[in-house]
Structure 1
Amino acid sequence: MPDAQPMPMRNAMSVDLEDWFHVGAFENVIPRSDWAGCEDRVARNGDAVLALFDRVGVKSTFFTLGCVAAQHPGLIRKIVAAGHEIASHGWDHKRVFTLTPEQFRADLEQARAAIEDAGGARVTGYRAPSFSIDARTPWAHPVLAEAGYTYSSSVAPVRHDHYGWPESPRHIWRPLADSPLIELPVTTARIGGRTLAAGGGGFFRMLPYAFSRWAIGRANGMEGRPAVFYFHPWEIDPEQPRVAHAPLRSKLRHYSRLSAMEGKLERLLKEFAWDRTDHVVARQAATL
């Protein structure tokens, strides 16, 4: 009999479950006081993401805003029933470096309660809004550990005008010597001495598909590590409202190539092997 082929490495697929008006690109033009008047599209887009995953047979992690879970418990129940992981994305997308440790602790508690109440499943994973755990928040990982989280996927080891911790490790690491808490950074690629974002979102939408394919293949092959990929439900919604008074840079980041996103995602989901983030973390923890 021929030798059995090795199983492909399973990468971490994740969805940051938030609506189009929650995003950091619009935080200075759509105040939270106006959110109630914005068109709510997260449920329909969440259903579209679930349909996509079901079509290609992929399980994922939904890093969920607590305010979304409180408003759409039916969507959270659908996510859990389909076999996906629910995890926390904070309460209402406040960046961690804008909070005090006490505010962060309260944000975690409020979000987790809403998500667990809606889904009936335990929340053990966390992703900071806009990857906002960085060198300015040395207290963030200790607070997560105290709150009983198993892992965080909150660090982007790049330089970026909105976020980034370029000095942090590019692959899975333990931020605390006295805790099993694991940090699983979003995927990056090293090119010409520079570290580039390669884990999804706007970079995936706007850059050629070949770049993401190369970066994930390199992570799996040469580096021997799973990729960590993310996207947002609003990224497959080209019909979403336009914010006319937003800065040009914000509009370019948010609206570019929305119509191409779902097709690119489906190709990526079929080309590589994917799994929930908690499952990937559990397998990788043995390597630390």
Structure 2
Amino acid sequence: MTAAATETGASPAGGTAPLRDAHLVRNVMSVDVEDYFQVQAFAAVIPRESWDGFASRVEANVDRILAQFADAGAAGTFFTLGWVAERHPAMIRRILAAGHELASHGYGHAPVHMLGAAAFRADIRRAKAVLEDAGGVAVTGYRAPTFSMGSRTPWAYQVLEEEGHRYSSSVFPIRHDLYGEPAAPRFPYRPAGSTLWELPMTTVRLAGRNLPCAGGGYFRLLPYRLFRMGLRQVNAGEHKAGIFYFHPWEIDPGQPRIRDCSRMSRFRHYVNLSAMSGRLDRLLHDFAWDRMDRVFAALLSPSSSSL
């Protein structure tokens, strides 16, 4: 598809007009469903065995997201922790009833490279079983916590494939202190020796470097217009679909503050939370959004063998 959008009139959020029209490339909207106390930034101060002691806010936040998506006529993919689904099965059913795709974020939010092959298999198998039991649908997509797949985990794709997954969206082709595979392809590819597809997070190419254009803290920190320009370049300039992600806790400025973590962790987690919901509304109306399995349907069909 091509992206020949124009900007006229006023947008619902002010500024320039919505970019969507019938010719716009459909992008992937994805949500990494985890609670505020489960993020990797707090892992050093909040052990997993203490999670049940925290007041959960994920269900109320997901319901707010479902309402935002419905208002914008957008569909998406919800990469959900098995731990969360086990405790909120009714939320899983509401996600599916609203027409969204259910996918796996693993069970316990442990980075893949810290698990090893055997523990990784047990984690994704448990998550898949919990999600499918709660939702009554097959779960074939996966996203690694903290984008923790790549050159350190060459065994992970075979394990995913053997456990019934068809795709992963676990590689961010940027340089980052916590994650990143800057040498990875920027667009969908099959890792060596695998028939499973990797659908990497979106970047823009500038001055010989990949710059992030996929959401997360970058989306909250940087001016919205820069993000919009980047995604328009991917759509209109490269004729490719983008992949955006965010977390339910990012639209929740009222969440409890974790004080014992590092200053950098606090900054990354809390920066501009109060602006996120409004920015998300602009994004939902400025671009066309759909589920991962539909945007990449041609790749993910059983008969697909090439780009």
What TM-score does the superposition give when structure 1 sets the normalisation length?
0.95
Pick the aligned partner of 1:208 from 223, 234, 242.
Answer: 223
Pick the aligned partner of 1:80 from 68, 89, 96.
Answer: 96
Instruction: Tell me how far apart the structure 1 counterparts of residues 43 and 102 of structure 2 sit (CA, whole Å).
Output: 25
Instruction: Tell me how far apart the structure 2 counterparts of residues 28 and 6 of structure 1 sit (CA, whole Å).
Output: 47
What one-letter code is carried by the residue in structure 1 that aligns with 2:219? F
Instruction: Tell me how far apart the structure 1 counterparts of residues 170 and 132 of structure 2 sit (CA, whole Å).
Output: 20
Where does structure 2 lack aligned partners over 5 or more consecutive residues? 1-20
Structure 2 SS opposite 1:268: helix
Q: In the TM superposition, what is the alpha-carbon distance from 1:150 to its structure 2 partner?
A: 1.1
Report the counterpart of residue 149 of structure 1 in structure 2: 165
Q: In the TM superposition, what is the alpha-carbon distance from 1:176 to its structure 2 partner?
A: 3.7
Deviations 1:74-117 (A, max 9, x none): 00000011100000000010000001111111111000000111
Does structure 2 conserve the Cα–Cα contact (< 8 Å) formed by 1:141 and 1:176? no
Report the counterpart of residue 277 of structure 2 in structure 1: 262
Report the counterpart of residue 245 of structure 2 in structure 1: 230
Does residue 136 in structure 1 map to residue 152 in structure 2? yes
What one-letter code is carried by the residue in structure 2 that aligns with 1:123? V
Q: In the TM superposition, what is the alpha-carbon distance from 1:283 to its structure 2 partner?
A: 3.5
Q: In the TM superposition, what is the alpha-carbon distance from 1:269 to its structure 2 partner?
A: 0.6
Report the counterpart of residue 34 of structure 1 in structure 2: 50
Report the counterpart of residue 277 of structure 1 in structure 2: 292
Instruction: Give me the CA root mean square deviation.
Output: 1.3
> How many pairs does the alignment contain?
283
Instruction: Tell me how far apart the structure 2 counterparts of residues 235 and 256 of structure 1 sit (CA, whole Å).
Output: 9
Report the counterpart of residue 7 of structure 1 in structure 2: 23
Q: In the TM superposition, what is the alpha-carbon distance from 1:178 to its structure 2 partner?
A: 5.1
Instruction: Tell me how far apart the structure 2 counterparts of residues 16 and 284 of structure 1 sit (CA, whole Å).
Output: 22
The within-5 A match list for 1:174-213 is 174-177=190-193, 179=195, 181-213=196-228
Structure 1 SS opposite 2:60: helix
* Poorly superposed stretches of 4+, deviation over 4 Å: 284-287
Instruction: Tell me how far apart the structure 1 counterparts of residues 193 and 262 of structure 2 sit (CA, whole Å).
Output: 43
Does structure 2 conserve the Cα–Cα contact (< 8 Å) formed by 1:142 and 1:176? no
Report the counterpart of residue 130 of structure 2 in structure 1: 114
Structure 2 SS opposite 1:221: helix
Instruction: Tell me how far apart the structure 2 counterparts of residues 216 and 133 of structure 1 sit (CA, whole Å).
Output: 24
What one-letter code is carried by the residue in structure 2 that aligns with 1:24? Q
Does structure 2 conserve the Cα–Cα contact (< 8 Å) formed by 1:200 and 1:231? yes
Report the counterpart of residue 98 of structure 1 in structure 2: 114
Where does structure 1 lack aligned partners over 5 or more consecutive residues? none
Report the counterpart of residue 23 of structure 1 in structure 2: 39
What one-letter code is carried by the residue in structure 2 that aligns with 1:223? E
